[in-house]
Chain A
Protein backbone atom coordinates (compact mmCIF):
# COMPACT_ATOMS: atom_id res chain seq x y z
CA UNK A 1 0.00 0.00 0.00
CA UNK A 2 1.40 3.35 -1.04
CA UNK A 3 2.34 5.66 1.82
CA UNK A 4 3.70 9.20 1.80
CA UNK A 5 5.32 10.91 4.77
CA UNK A 6 6.32 14.55 5.03
CA UNK A 7 9.29 15.63 7.11
CA UNK A 8 11.04 18.88 7.88
CA UNK A 9 11.18 21.80 10.31
CA UNK A 10 7.93 22.88 11.88
CA UNK A 11 9.13 26.43 12.43
CA UNK A 12 10.75 28.72 9.87
CA UNK A 13 11.77 32.35 10.30
CA UNK A 14 10.41 35.05 8.03
CA UNK A 15 12.47 35.64 4.87
CA UNK A 16 14.10 32.21 5.16
CA UNK A 17 13.52 29.12 3.02
CA UNK A 18 11.02 26.43 3.94
CA UNK A 19 12.30 22.92 3.12
CA UNK A 20 10.25 19.74 3.27
CA UNK A 21 10.83 16.20 2.08
CA UNK A 22 8.29 13.54 1.22
CA UNK A 23 9.33 9.90 1.55
CA UNK A 24 7.38 7.42 -0.53
CA UNK A 25 6.99 3.79 0.55
CA UNK A 26 5.04 0.90 -0.86
CA UNK A 27 5.69 2.00 -4.43
CA UNK A 28 8.32 3.46 -6.70
CA UNK A 29 8.55 7.17 -7.31
CA UNK A 30 9.76 6.28 -10.80
CA UNK A 31 6.47 4.71 -11.82
CA UNK A 32 5.03 6.17 -14.98
CA UNK A 33 1.70 7.96 -15.26
CA UNK A 34 1.98 9.65 -11.88
CA UNK A 35 3.32 12.93 -10.62
CA UNK A 36 4.41 13.88 -7.13
CA UNK A 37 3.06 17.09 -5.72
CA UNK A 38 2.72 19.49 -2.85
CA UNK A 39 -0.52 21.06 -1.64
CA UNK A 40 -0.93 23.37 1.33
CA UNK A 41 -3.73 24.46 3.61
CA UNK A 42 -3.49 27.53 5.86
CA UNK A 43 -5.12 26.99 9.26
CA UNK A 44 -8.89 27.02 8.92
CA UNK A 45 -8.73 27.70 5.19
CA UNK A 46 -8.93 25.89 1.89
CA UNK A 47 -6.48 23.97 -0.27
CA UNK A 48 -3.85 25.44 -2.58
CA UNK A 49 -1.88 23.39 -5.08
CA UNK A 50 1.80 24.37 -4.99
CA UNK A 51 3.30 22.25 -7.73
CA UNK A 52 4.17 18.78 -8.98
CA UNK A 53 7.13 16.90 -10.41
CA UNK A 54 7.48 13.89 -12.66
CA UNK A 55 10.15 11.33 -11.85
CA UNK A 56 12.11 12.50 -14.88
CA UNK A 57 12.43 15.91 -13.25
CA UNK A 58 9.82 17.87 -15.22
CA UNK A 59 8.19 20.39 -12.90
CA UNK A 60 4.87 22.23 -12.87
CA UNK A 61 4.23 25.12 -10.51
CA UNK A 62 1.33 27.27 -9.39
CA UNK A 63 1.93 30.58 -11.19
CA UNK A 64 1.23 32.52 -8.00
CA UNK A 65 4.12 30.78 -6.22
CA UNK A 66 6.38 29.94 -9.13
CA UNK A 67 9.02 32.58 -8.38
CA UNK A 68 9.61 31.14 -4.89
CA UNK A 69 9.11 27.39 -5.37
CA UNK A 70 11.49 24.59 -6.26
CA UNK A 71 10.43 20.95 -6.30
CA UNK A 72 13.02 18.24 -6.84
CA UNK A 73 13.10 14.46 -6.88
CA UNK A 74 15.63 11.90 -5.67
CA UNK A 75 14.70 8.57 -7.22
CA UNK A 76 17.52 6.73 -5.43
CA UNK A 77 15.92 7.59 -2.08
CA UNK A 78 12.32 7.44 -3.32
CA UNK A 79 11.85 11.00 -2.11
CA UNK A 80 10.84 14.35 -3.46
CA UNK A 81 11.31 17.75 -1.88
CA UNK A 82 9.85 21.24 -1.67
CA UNK A 83 11.70 24.49 -1.17
CA UNK A 84 9.78 27.74 -0.71
CA UNK A 85 11.92 30.83 -0.40
CA UNK A 86 11.37 34.21 1.24
CA UNK A 87 8.58 32.96 3.45
CA UNK A 88 6.19 35.19 5.35
CA UNK A 89 3.43 34.54 7.88
CA UNK A 90 1.10 33.97 4.94
CA UNK A 91 3.01 30.77 4.18
CA UNK A 92 2.02 29.24 7.53
CA UNK A 93 0.06 26.14 6.61
CA UNK A 94 -0.25 22.39 6.75
CA UNK A 95 1.82 21.12 3.84
CA UNK A 96 0.75 17.86 2.21
CA UNK A 97 2.66 15.77 -0.25
CA UNK A 98 0.62 13.73 -2.67
CA UNK A 99 0.77 11.40 -5.62
CA UNK A 100 -1.24 12.88 -8.42
CA UNK A 101 -2.22 12.24 -11.98
CA UNK A 102 -2.84 15.01 -14.47
CA UNK A 103 -6.29 15.20 -12.93
CA UNK A 104 -6.53 14.35 -9.25
CA UNK A 105 -4.61 13.44 -6.13
CA UNK A 106 -5.73 10.02 -4.92
CA UNK A 107 -2.93 9.53 -2.39
CA UNK A 108 -1.88 12.00 0.30
CA UNK A 109 0.54 12.16 3.18
CA UNK A 110 -0.78 13.00 6.64
CA UNK A 111 0.46 16.59 6.37
CA UNK A 112 2.89 18.64 8.40
CA UNK A 113 2.29 22.04 9.97
CA UNK A 114 4.87 24.67 9.15
CA UNK A 115 4.70 27.92 11.09
CA UNK A 116 6.51 31.03 9.90
CA UNK A 117 7.48 33.11 12.89
CA UNK A 118 10.49 34.78 14.38
Chain B
Protein backbone atom coordinates (compact mmCIF):
# COMPACT_ATOMS: atom_id res chain seq x y z
CA UNK B 1 0.00 0.00 0.00
CA UNK B 2 1.21 3.49 -0.83
CA UNK B 3 1.19 5.63 2.31
CA UNK B 4 0.50 9.34 1.91
CA UNK B 5 1.84 11.64 4.63
CA UNK B 6 0.68 15.24 4.87
CA UNK B 7 2.34 18.07 6.76
CA UNK B 8 1.73 20.01 8.81
CA UNK B 9 -1.29 18.56 10.56
CA UNK B 10 -2.54 22.08 11.27
CA UNK B 11 -1.57 25.31 9.53
CA UNK B 12 -2.49 28.67 11.08
CA UNK B 13 -2.68 31.42 8.47
CA UNK B 14 -4.07 34.94 8.39
CA UNK B 15 -6.57 35.88 5.67
CA UNK B 16 -4.77 37.20 2.60
CA UNK B 17 -1.58 35.26 3.34
CA UNK B 18 -0.15 32.33 1.39
CA UNK B 19 -0.62 28.77 2.58
CA UNK B 20 1.67 25.94 1.55
CA UNK B 21 0.63 22.35 2.25
CA UNK B 22 2.82 19.29 1.69
CA UNK B 23 2.09 15.70 0.77
CA UNK B 24 4.66 12.92 0.54
CA UNK B 25 4.17 9.47 -0.95
CA UNK B 26 5.96 6.38 0.36
CA UNK B 27 6.87 5.51 -3.23
CA UNK B 28 6.64 7.29 -6.53
CA UNK B 29 3.13 8.03 -7.79
CA UNK B 30 4.35 9.98 -10.83
CA UNK B 31 1.88 12.85 -11.26
CA UNK B 32 -1.11 10.76 -10.19
CA UNK B 33 -1.98 12.97 -7.26
CA UNK B 34 -5.14 14.87 -6.38
CA UNK B 35 -6.12 17.37 -3.71
CA UNK B 36 -9.53 17.74 -2.06
CA UNK B 37 -11.01 20.38 0.23
CA UNK B 38 -13.45 19.45 2.98
CA UNK B 39 -15.45 21.86 5.09
CA UNK B 40 -17.23 20.79 8.30
CA UNK B 41 -20.31 18.72 7.63
CA UNK B 42 -19.67 18.61 3.89
CA UNK B 43 -18.35 16.07 1.43
CA UNK B 44 -14.86 16.58 0.02
CA UNK B 45 -14.55 18.71 -3.11
CA UNK B 46 -12.02 17.95 -5.81
CA UNK B 47 -9.55 20.81 -6.26
CA UNK B 48 -6.58 19.50 -8.21
CA UNK B 49 -5.77 16.37 -10.24
CA UNK B 50 -2.74 15.33 -12.19
CA UNK B 51 -0.75 17.09 -9.44
CA UNK B 52 -1.31 20.51 -11.00
CA UNK B 53 -4.55 20.70 -13.01
CA UNK B 54 -7.37 22.60 -11.40
CA UNK B 55 -10.77 20.93 -11.46
CA UNK B 56 -13.72 22.71 -13.03
CA UNK B 57 -14.67 25.90 -11.22
CA UNK B 58 -11.68 25.99 -8.88
CA UNK B 59 -10.22 29.48 -8.42
CA UNK B 60 -6.76 30.27 -9.74
CA UNK B 61 -5.47 30.99 -6.23
CA UNK B 62 -5.25 27.22 -5.78
CA UNK B 63 -2.21 25.64 -7.40
CA UNK B 64 -0.53 22.27 -7.19
CA UNK B 65 2.97 21.14 -7.97
CA UNK B 66 5.31 18.20 -7.63
CA UNK B 67 5.85 14.73 -8.99
CA UNK B 68 7.21 11.43 -7.82
CA UNK B 69 6.98 11.48 -4.04
CA UNK B 70 6.81 15.18 -3.10
CA UNK B 71 3.79 17.40 -3.74
CA UNK B 72 2.61 20.83 -2.71
CA UNK B 73 -0.73 22.61 -2.65
CA UNK B 74 -0.45 26.38 -2.52
CA UNK B 75 -3.25 28.80 -1.78
CA UNK B 76 -1.87 32.15 -2.86
CA UNK B 77 -4.09 34.49 -0.83
CA UNK B 78 -6.34 32.83 1.69
CA UNK B 79 -9.99 33.80 1.61
CA UNK B 80 -12.40 33.17 4.47
CA UNK B 81 -14.01 30.30 2.56
CA UNK B 82 -10.66 28.50 2.22
CA UNK B 83 -10.37 27.58 5.88
CA UNK B 84 -10.97 23.85 5.76
CA UNK B 85 -9.23 20.47 5.81
CA UNK B 86 -7.25 19.47 2.73
CA UNK B 87 -6.52 15.89 1.69
CA UNK B 88 -4.15 14.53 -0.90
CA UNK B 89 -4.96 11.29 -2.74
CA UNK B 90 -2.82 9.09 -4.94
CA UNK B 91 -4.29 7.14 -7.81
CA UNK B 92 -1.14 5.71 -9.29
CA UNK B 93 -2.18 2.13 -8.69
CA UNK B 94 -5.92 1.97 -9.37
CA UNK B 95 -7.87 0.51 -7.82
CA UNK B 96 -5.78 0.97 -4.70
CA UNK B 97 -6.38 4.63 -3.96
CA UNK B 98 -5.03 6.02 -0.69
CA UNK B 99 -5.50 9.36 1.02
CA UNK B 100 -3.34 11.42 3.32
CA UNK B 101 -4.51 12.11 6.85
CA UNK B 102 -5.31 15.74 6.08
CA UNK B 103 -4.05 19.24 6.86
CA UNK B 104 -6.36 21.62 8.67
CA UNK B 105 -5.99 25.24 7.60
CA UNK B 106 -7.22 27.46 10.39
CA UNK B 107 -7.47 31.17 10.97
CA UNK B 108 -4.47 32.67 12.74
Contact = CB atoms under 8 A, between A and B. Distances in A.
The DSSP consensus for interface residues of chain A is: loop
Interface stretch (B61-69, B72-80, B98-106): B98-106
Contact of A49 (B45, B46, B55, B97): B97
Contact of A63 (B91, B96, B100): B96
B43 A46 contact: no
A34 interface: no
A63 B102 CA distance: 22
Contacts of B42: 110
A64 B1 CA distance: 10
A50 to B, nearest CB: 10
Contacts, number: 52
B32 A103 contact: yes
Interface string A34-60: 000000000001111101100000001
A96 B43 contact: yes
Contacts of B100: 46
Interface of B: 1, 32, 34, 36, 42-46, 49-50, 55-56, 87, 89, 91, 94-102
Interface of A: 45-49, 51-52, 60-64, 96, 102-106, 108-111
